[in-house]
Amino acid sequence: MDRSKIVAVATGIISIGLAIAYLLIVQIIDSRGEMLPAPITETLFQGLLKI
């Protein structure tokens, strides 16, 4: 194999590995449960109290 083909295969393997790692991380983060929005009223009052 030429050096350029080895570099291309290695780059492809690294790219696929990073893509799979990214998908696994997203699945782990997503499985933690529903994201709850920040309470708007409390943050609004805290902002008014600082003024």
Q: Is 30 helix (H, G, I), strand (E, B) or coil?
A: helix
pLDDT computed for residue 39 by the predictor: 67
pLDDT computed for residue 47 by the predictor: 62
pLDDT computed for residue 45 by the predictor: 62
State the total domains in the chain.
1
- Which residue ranges of the chain lie beneath pLDDT 70? 38-39, 41-51
pLDDT computed for residue 2 by the predictor: 94
Domain that holds residue 10: 3-50
CA 32/CA 26 separation, integer angstroms: 10
DSSP state of 32: T
